[in-house]
Structure 1
Amino acid sequence: MGFLALFMVALMPVLKTLLLTAVGLILALDRINLLGPTARHNLNNLVFYIFSPCLMGAYLAKTVTFDVMVNMWFMPVNILITFIIGSVLGWILVKITKAPHNLQGLVIGCCAAGNLGNLLLIVIPAICNEPKNPFGEYSICMADGAAYVSVSMAVGAVYIWSYVYVIMKISAEKTNRGERTDSHHSVVIIRSCDAASENTEPLLLSKVGETVSKLEKIKNSTFGVVRRMRSINLQMLFAPTTIGSAIGFFVGLVPLLKMLLVGTEAPLRIIYSASEILGGATVPCVTLIVGANLLRGLRRSGISVLLVIGIMVVRYIALPLLGIVIVSAANRYGLVGSNPLYQFVLMLQFALPPAMSIGTIAQLFEAGEGECSVVMLWTYAVSALALTLWSTFFMWLVL
């Protein structure tokens, strides 16, 4: 296929995503107000606790088998590499731009986590559905593509909710502790000023303030590890999405369970069917939420332009170039097989915009929502061109 034909194949799924995002933005307008702050928060909780776990479980139970996992062993490694390199580049970006403490977790998270689930769930079927797609007939393309997307979604979700979630939570807690510390010092200063005005002992109060400050530091250093362990609790590490993925893997890898739950003749197929229906709401809901959150980015910007540009450079220039090197090297040493669609998905995992779950996490912590909206606004707007160009180039490379 020519470059222009490949470009049109890659453009269609991106346009579909942007169209759904635009609908979410319209629903959040004050005149319509169907996706106001309260509605978005409640819908986020539904996605987090119900829709996303059901989607992961249903997709994995249907597509995953032992042979599939053996053939795709490199994909979890590839995704882990994207997270590690992205987070390192994000940390460098934070240091270079001297990002505020309350935004450091958000910046690192946006650089580390790509949209490995929802966007691929739209992109791959859309490419397979194109009459002139380079990966063969629709049935063959979708059979392979569904397995790749399901594993990518599951592994990405595990990494996001056990890695990026931790980073953003720790960042939010540090910000809250810093605000409490500033408030405490302000009270000490005010009391010192009052004491001085009443001709009391200012030096004594100053020493008391210093003693309190030292005790706070000792307390923080002594119990810091304990607080950190409490913050990284089982509820965080085993988020609903992670549990849903684990159940899906288990059902897919155990033939007896798969026979009982999956298929038109399965005795317990009603359970799988219900999960599949609930999971089907994940992609439209999350995409609508992102669109609704973009409204805040259009109205108010709490993040510097340099940080937004830096995130886009990491996600759309540095990571894709490194991805080409890594996947090409893996292919050269026989680690990824010869399936061009598999190689394409591995490369595409390096070129995706930030994960929509970043917005969900920011909203769950009620920290950096406006700044996250700005990042999502511009990264997804630029992705229309960047993702299309990289998808076209990746298809040209693997064919």
Structure 2
Amino acid sequence: MLAPPPEGTFDIDPQSIPIKCTTKSDGSPEQDPLLTQEEGGYLTGPNASRKWKMKDCLRFLYEKLKLKQILQPPIIASILAMVLGAVPFLKSLIFTPDAPLFFFTDSCMILGEAMIPCILLALGGNLIDGPGSSKLGLRTTAAIVFARLVLVPPVGLGIVMLADKLGFLPPDDKMFRFVLLLQHSMPTSVLSGAVANLRGCGKEAAGVLFWVHIFAIISMAGWIVLFLNILF
């Protein structure tokens, strides 16, 4: 270890920092410190301060928008798949059967076939104490089921009809319109239960999914009859 000299220490007095002398407009000397201190550190130039400001801004947006809760693994995988599929070079490199990296796609397809059974097993494990073991309560669960199965389908019907009026949908393709309408009346995906399980609320999500799928048997039958009467 280095020891301080006998006549002093390693501590530097701010008053003893070397200064440079410049001349003011009136001819009097102006003294500026060679090293500028700010909050315990030294400035290295405007680029460094700009870099730190950008980092602070990005960190603020990341925390304010709660991107950690939004960017879950399924969403990240979906965005990555859309990017890879939209670029022709990457698509021919990964997704085509004769691509050099098609083994990666083949492995993902094999894992994807087992995804739904694994998710159902996880949901079943969360329902080990019954669907009423969640902390949401009867009113909250009933409101979620009502909103998903009764309120969402009319909104989807209005969106599809508006898109049809504006010419966004293929003409004379009633089956395509029926699929668009049907997806709004479907129960919540079991994948949402897996995402909720990552956030530590798997029991609540499993209870809601249980009741949504139970009552969807009745609601889907009614909405399918209505959609068929509208389209055909």
Tell me if TM exceeds 0.5: yes
Say what the alpha-carbon RMSD is for the aligned residues: 2.8
- Summarize the Cα distance change of 1:268–1:364 in structure 2 as closer, same or farther, 3 Å threshold: closer
1:343 to 177, 191, 197: 177
Larger radius of gyration: 2
Matching residue of 1:354: 188
- Summarize the Cα distance change of 1:263–1:365 in structure 2 as closer, same or farther, 3 Å threshold: closer
- CA shift for structure 1 position 301: 4.9
Decide which structure has greater strand share: 2
Matching residue of 2:147: 314
Whether contact under 8 Å (1:296, 1:373) holds in the other structure is: no
- Summarize the Cα distance change of 1:286–1:395 in structure 2 as closer, same or farther, 3 Å threshold: farther
Whole-Å separation in 2 of the counterparts to 1:362 and 1:251? 27
Whole-Å separation in 2 of the counterparts to 1:265 and 1:301? 49
- CA shift for structure 1 position 233: 5.7
Matching residue of 1:265: 98
- Partner of 1:263, secondary structure, is coil
Q: Quick check: 1:366 aligned with 2:200?
A: yes
Q: Which amino acid aligns with 2:113?
A: G
Whole-Å separation in 1 of the counterparts to 2:101 and 2:134? 50
Whole-Å separation in 2 of the counterparts to 1:373 and 1:272? 30
Whether contact under 8 Å (2:132, 2:207) holds in the other structure is: no
- Partner of 2:185, secondary structure, is coil
Q: Quick check: 1:244 aligned with 2:77?
A: yes
Whether contact under 8 Å (2:95, 2:102) holds in the other structure is: yes
Give the unaligned 5+ runs of structure 2.
1-58
Decide which structure has greater helix share: 1
- CA shift for structure 1 position 280: 2.1
Deviations 1:268-322 (A, max 9, x none): 2212111211222222222332233333334635333222222222111121122
Matching residue of 2:130: 297
- Summarize the Cα distance change of 1:362–1:335 in structure 2 as closer, same or farther, 3 Å threshold: same
- CA shift for structure 1 position 227: 8.1
Whole-Å separation in 2 of the counterparts to 1:295 and 1:231? 36
TM-score after normalising by structure 2: 0.62
- Summarize the Cα distance change of 1:398–1:312 in structure 2 as closer, same or farther, 3 Å threshold: same
- CA shift for structure 1 position 331: 0.8
Deviations 1:125-157 (A, max 9, x none): xxxxxxxxxxxxxxxxxxxxxxxxxxxxxxxxx
Give the unaligned 5+ runs of structure 1.
1-225
Whether contact under 8 Å (1:295, 1:373) holds in the other structure is: no
Matching residue of 1:173: none
Whole-Å separation in 2 of the counterparts to 1:285 and 1:295? 16
- CA shift for structure 1 position 383: 1.2
Deviations 1:194-224 (A, max 9, x none): xxxxxxxxxxxxxxxxxxxxxxxxxxxxxxx
Q: Alignment identity in percent? A: 27
Tell which has more relative contact order, 1 or 2 (C-alpha 8 A, sep 6+). Answer: 1
Deviations 1:329-363 (A, max 9, x none): 22122122233233223222322223434433433
- Summarize the Cα distance change of 1:282–1:391 in structure 2 as closer, same or farther, 3 Å threshold: farther
Matches within 5 A, 1:160-309: 229-230=62-63, 232=65, 235-298=68-131, 300-309=133-142
Q: Quick check: 1:330 aligned with 2:169?
A: no
Q: Quick check: 1:390 aligned with 2:205?
A: no
- Summarize the Cα distance change of 1:308–1:242 in structure 2 as closer, same or farther, 3 Å threshold: closer
Deviations 1:377-398 (A, max 9, x none): 2111111222233234324433
Matches within 5 A, 1:8-157: none
Whether contact under 8 Å (1:320, 1:347) holds in the other structure is: yes
